[in-house]
């Protein structure tokens, strides 16, 4: 994995407080022992790392907390410097090991009806509440606790931590971390992405491509609407083409019954256009996406929609030569399709004690680790995504305990050399 540069190296000094000082998880009805993972999670939740905001204070605190256990971290800043990834290695850096991957950003709480403080960890009936508890600071806390425990062991194979930013915006931040791993002499043997799966091993997720279509028409007074070209109407015609392609895929396309939705999906999620009701709009913007099975080529699907858009424009230009539909890719990430019999699946099942596998509807950075680095990857973490992105998000203490146990067994395997 290589050693951090001098400017990024953090020695094993005592961690000083960085950012907010949260109270430990509270439960007025009874007293109980708070685990190290829960203490770390309380600190992580107190950093309001919504994707639109910086995460650097959190990353600096993670690095110093690891440094207090003698663990060196490499911080990889974003171009603006307000965000960063973190890569840390415990054990020998000249041989393969296991990488634990987690993102540090969370989705907003704006407009949601929270009855608990979203950026303070609270407890009730064995559930720990706060934004990011499930998605996915719970796993980050477990990984940090495991790393601190591993620092006191003589590992024959290393443990790597890979914490990223802007995953919620389309796995944007992790690319610089992957670039660093790609340049390293040694890559991890396996990767575990700790998104919430209720501690069941997930072998796959769909890929995604997000497209912005800018539709251009001709303005006119609405009393003379036929003399113009309504860009909103053009965008709606494009939505109709997207829906027709979805219907074709649903009827005749590839299916994978391991997913809740067994086929590739297309979705128009946002449309904007127009200035006033009495003006025929000359511009409309449509954001749409493809979430594709591994067996389906997202580029081919986008090309079919592009061809439909070209046909729409050709017809519109007979009336308004300035008509256009311009496509812009906002982001894309590949799907993950690890075989059920893959060695990484058997390895992680040996850590969890379970035999089942699932595939998840949401995207992760796992597809990038697999596609760009060739690192065998699975998804396995505490909590359920049914709680993610909602008010009063929570993870159970039981789920965190199961994750702590899985990672404790991982450290034992690393000590034995896998």
Q: Is the dihedral of CA 219, 222, 225, 227 positive or negative?
A: negative
Average pLDDT of the chain to the nearest whole number: 92
Confidence of residue 44 (pLDDT cuts 50, 70, 90): very high
Q: Give pLDDT, residue 33.
A: 80
Q: Which residue has the tokens 């649903």?
A: 250
How do residues 283-321 score in pLDDT, each as one tens digit? 999 999 999 998 899 999 999 999 999 999 999 999 999
**Per-residue DSSP letter, 224:** G
Q: Please check the confidence at residue 6 and state whether its pLDDT lies above 60.
A: no
Q: Please check the confidence at residue 10 and state whether its pLDDT lies above 80.
A: no
Q: Please check the confidence at residue 417 and state whether its pLDDT lies above 60.
A: yes
Q: Please check the confidence at residue 25 and state whether its pLDDT lies above 90.
A: no
Mean pLDDT score, 47-58 = 97
Rounded alpha-carbon distances, angstroms, from residue 246 to 215, 265, 334, 384: 21, 6, 19, 28
Q: Name which of 213, 206, 210 is nearest 308 in CA terms.
A: 213
CA–CA distance, 234 with 214 (Å, rounded to integer): 10
How do residues 319-358 score in pLDDT, each as one tens digit? 999 999 999 999 999 999 999 999 999 999 999 999 999 9
Mean pLDDT score, 85-104 = 96
Q: Give pLDDT, residue 177.
A: 96
**Per-residue DSSP letter, 5:** P
Confidence of residue 29 (pLDDT cuts 50, 70, 90): very low
How do residues 61-81 score in pLDDT, each as one tens digit? 999 999 999 999 999 999 999
Q: Give pLDDT, residue 31.
A: 57
Residue 41 and residue 28 in contact, taking contact as beta carbons nearer than 8 Å? no
Question: Can you read off the two tokens belonging to residue 203?
Answer: 């072998």
Q: Please check the confidence at residue 365 and state whether its pLDDT lies above 80.
A: yes
Q: Please check the confidence at residue 27 and state whether its pLDDT lies above 70.
A: no
Q: Give pLDDT, residue 127.
A: 97
Q: Please check the confidence at residue 4 and state whether its pLDDT lies above 60.
A: no
3-state DSSP call for residue 275?
A: coil
CA–CA distance, 137 with 121 (Å, rounded to integer): 11
How do residues 169-184 score in pLDDT, each as one tens digit? 999 999 999 999 999 9
Task: Walk me through the domains of the chain, giving residue ranges and CATH numbers.
Answer: 36-205+335-415 (3.40.630.10), 209-333 (3.30.70.360)
Q: Please check the confidence at residue 22 and state whether its pLDDT lies above 80.
A: no
pTM: 0.87
């Amino acid at each position: 994995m290589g050693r951090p540069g001098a400017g990024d190296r953090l020695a094993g000094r005592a961690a000083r407080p960085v950012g907010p000082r949260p109270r430990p998880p509270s439960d007025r009805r009874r007293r109980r022992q708070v685990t190290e993972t829960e203490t770390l999670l309380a600190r992580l939740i107190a950093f309001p790392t919504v994707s639109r905001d910086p995460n650097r204070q959190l990353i600096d605190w993670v690095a110093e907390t690891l440094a207090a256990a003698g663990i060196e971290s490499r911080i990889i800043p974003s171009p603006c410097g307000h965000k960063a990834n973190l890569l840390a290695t415990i054990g020998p850096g000249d041989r393969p090991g296991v990488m634990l991957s987690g993102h540090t950003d969370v989705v907003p709480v704006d407009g949601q009806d929270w009855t608990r403080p979203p950026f303070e960890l609270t407890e009730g009936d064995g559930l720990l509440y706060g934004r990011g508890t499930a998605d996915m600071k719970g796993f980050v806390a477990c990984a940090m606790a495991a790393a601190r425990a591993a620092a006191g062991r003589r590992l024959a194979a290393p443990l790597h931590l890979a914490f990223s930013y802007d995953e919620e915006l389309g796995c944007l931040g992790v690319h610089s971390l992957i670039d660093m791993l790609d340049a390293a002499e040694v890559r991890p043997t396996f990767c575990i992405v700790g998104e919430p799966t209720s501690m069941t091993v997930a072998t796959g997720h769909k890929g995604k491509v997000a497209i912005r279509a800018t539709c251009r028409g001709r303005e006119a007074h609405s009393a003379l609407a036929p003399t113009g070209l309504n860009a909103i109407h053009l965008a709606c015609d494009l939505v109709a083409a997207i829906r027709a392609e979805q219907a074709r895929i649903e009827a005749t396309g590839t299916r994978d019954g391991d997913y809740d939705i067994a086929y590739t999906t297309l979705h128009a999620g946002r449309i904007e256009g127009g200035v006033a009701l009495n003006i025929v709009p000359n511009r409309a913007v449509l954001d749409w996406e493809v979430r594709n099975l591994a067996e389906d080529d997202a580029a081919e699907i986008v090309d079919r929609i592009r061809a439909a858009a070209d046909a729409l424009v050709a017809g519109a230009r007979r009336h308004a030569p300035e008509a256009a539909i311009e496509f812009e890719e906002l982001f894309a990430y590949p799907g993950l399709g690890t075989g059920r019999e893959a060695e990484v699946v058997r390895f992680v099942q040996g850590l969890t004690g379970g035999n089942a596998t699932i595939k998840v509807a949401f995207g992760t950075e796992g597809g990038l680790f697999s596609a760009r680095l060739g690192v065998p990857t699975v998804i396995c973490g505490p909590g359920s995504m049914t709680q993610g992105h909602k008010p009063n998000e929570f993870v159970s203490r039981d789920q965190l305990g199961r994750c702590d146990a899985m990672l404790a067994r991982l450290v034992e395997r690393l000590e034995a050399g896998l």
